[in-house]
Each structure stands twice: as C-alpha cells, then as structure tokens.
Amino acid sequence: MFDKLRDLKKIKDIQDSFKKERFDAEKDGVKISMNGNFEVEEIILNPDFNNEKNQEALKQNFNDLVKQVQMNLAKQFFK
C-alpha cells in the first residue's frame, strides 16, 4: 500500500515539475511552444506561406511536439 502512495507522490511531483518545462517545435518558419501540461503557449506562423502551407506545417509541428512531451514525461517517470 505504501508503495502505491509513493508512486502517486512521484507522479504528482513529476507533473508539478513538468508544468514548468517548455517544449518547442519548428518547421519551415512555423513554430509552436507547449508546456508539460500539453498547453500551447505560443504559435508563430510563416508570413510567406499561404494558409494551407501554414496549416500543414502547424499540424506536423504539433504532432512532433506531442511526441516530444510524451517521451520526456516517460523518461522522467522511469528514472
């Protein structure tokens, strides 16, 4: 039982520290910044792109960023 409580505390500590981390992804001048809670903090679009190109780059960046945050979270948990 105490092991489960320690695990819960570890998860809570990781979540609290992860909230403060910031992750960035950039492709073709389109940039997204996200925190460890998967909240988007900043989006910068490429003014030279039309909407379709900006949307495609944004989608790729977002998917890459989610994977990056998930991998870092897993590394933190399994230290």
Give tens-digit pLDDT for 65-74: 999 988 887 8
pLDDT over 70 for what percent of the chain?
95
Q: Give 34-55 pLDDT, tens digit per residue.
A: 988 889 999 999 999 999 999 9
Instruction: Give the number of other CB atoms < 10 A from CB of residue 51.
Output: 8
Separation CA 48–CA 46 (nearest Å) = 5
The pLDDT mean for the chain works out to 87
pTM > 0.85:
no
Domains of the chain: 2-77 (3.30.1310.10)
